[in-house]
Amino acid sequence: MYKTRLLLWILVSALFGVSLGCQTAAQSVSAISDRPDTPFKLSTFEAEATVRVGLVLGGRVLDIAGASDHLASEAGLSAMTLPDDMKTLIEEYATVSPRLYQIANYYGANGSDGLAFAFDVSSVSIKAPIKYPWNILAAAANYKAHAEGMGQNRGGGEENQAEGGRRRGGFDPSKIAEIVPERDAPVMFAKSPRSCIIDPGEPYYIPPGRERIDWEGEMAIIIGKPAYLVSQADAHDHVFGYSIMYDVSDRGGRTREVAMFPGPNWFDGKSTNRGAPFGPFITPKEFISDPANMRLVTKVNGVVKQDQTTADLIWNEENLIAYTTSILMLYPGDVIATGTPAGTGAERREFLKPGDVVEIELEGVGTLTTPIESYTES
């Protein structure tokens, strides 16, 4: 009888222990929220000769694949294979975002010091977030103050160059007050993703004969899912997040005109090689409280040249997405550069030279730095 009771006690204790262990494990899993409670940014970075997708928490960047594996082991979460490139991550965000939220919530609270998948941002090579989106579309003269400033500048650039008493290219700043964004179309142009995108910190090389290279800091909208014939009401639903693009512009250094089409050659002025520095991070839209009021500051050699908020946009996010998708399909990872604020070199009659450094800071995203150098054949 004693032995029977002893065996029963051992069995009950064992079952209770298993139950308690399961309950503890369940609590540890449920305690890690899969909601966007901890803000983060996303990056593409290289560390230890490997290019990775990173989740940025303060001054640390976590390789998402390593962080997910470690978290699964530590907290008893199910294993999950995360994408190893940003464009795929954006395409699969609806599925993988709960795990990213868990990573941010766990390591944001507990730290990541000493973990093999975590690095100081300053110790790695930050790359352009997406290499390469299918499309880069950009808006011209889309900040009211910039458009007005270009209108006051007779000969300042492709948006407004005077010849024989008329405005070449048809730019007429007197019409700004008459614009109805929901009715009127913005002027858009495209840049080649493969030829134009360069990494943060990489130099832009001034091509021979071009002496009027300008700075244009811009907020970049990153598309989150296929978008065609999207209404303004549904536009934000198709946004993934926000980044920074430097729309390098040649204001007429060697612009050639075509006799049949009077006016500036926009391809010549906007699509120079390496003319779209991009990054350093993407901030998912759930962590930007008001994209219609983000501060954008551009500095040249530490001196502020542009300082405005996106509240001054003529065509806002909804207008731009509705208009561009009325023309063509946009895909996850595609970029819409929303235009540049007042204070460009064209307005100031000053341009970049070798040795200059352009810094573009966007509230909630980070700072994109681009050194300016002369092109030399290697």
Co-location of 222 and 80 in the same domain: no
Q: What is d(CA 156, CA 227) in angstroms, rounded to the nearest whole number? A: 35
User: H/E element holding 224?
Assistant: none
What are the residues whose beta carbons fall under 8 Å from the beta carbon of 50, sequence distance 6 or more? none
Total structural domains in the chain? 2
Residue 5 lies in a domain: no
* 77 shares a domain with 59: yes
Do 88 and 168 lie in a common domain? no
- DSSP calls for 307-324: EEEGGGBSS-HHHHHHHH
Cβ-contact 293, 123 below 8 angstroms: no
Neighbours of 139 (CB within 10 A): 24
Q: Do 255 and 266 contact (CB within 8 A), yes or no?
A: no
Give 194's Cβ-side CA count (13 Å radius). Answer: 1
Residues 246 and 306 in one domain: yes
pLDDT at 23: 41
Contacts of 10 (CB under 8 A, 6+ apart): none
Residue 27 in domain: no
Same domain, residue pair 255 and 160: yes
Specify if 18 maps to a domain. Answer: no
Name the pTM for this structure. Answer: 0.88
- Whichever domain contains 345, its CATH number is 3.90.850.10
pLDDT by residue for the chain (378 residues), tens only, comes to 545 554 544 444 444 444 444 444 443 555 899 999 999 999 999 999 999 999 999 999 999 999 999 999 999 999 999 999 999 999 999 999 999 999 999 999 999 999 999 999 999 999 999 999 999 999 999 999 898 887 776 444 444 443 333 344 567 878 898 999 999 999 999 999 999 999 999 999 999 989 999 999 999 999 999 999 999 999 999 999 999 999 999 998 555 666 677 777 889 899 999 999 999 999 999 999 999 999 999 999 999 999 999 999 999 999 999 999 999 999 999 999 999 999 999 999 999 999 999 999 999 999 999 999 999 986
Whole-angstrom Cα distance, residue 75 to residue 85? 25
* Domain that residue 75 falls in: 41-127
Q: Is residue 36 part of a domain?
A: no
Q: How many whole angstroms separate alpha carbon 166 and alpha carbon 158?
A: 14
Which of 101, 127, 153 terminates a domain? The answer is 127
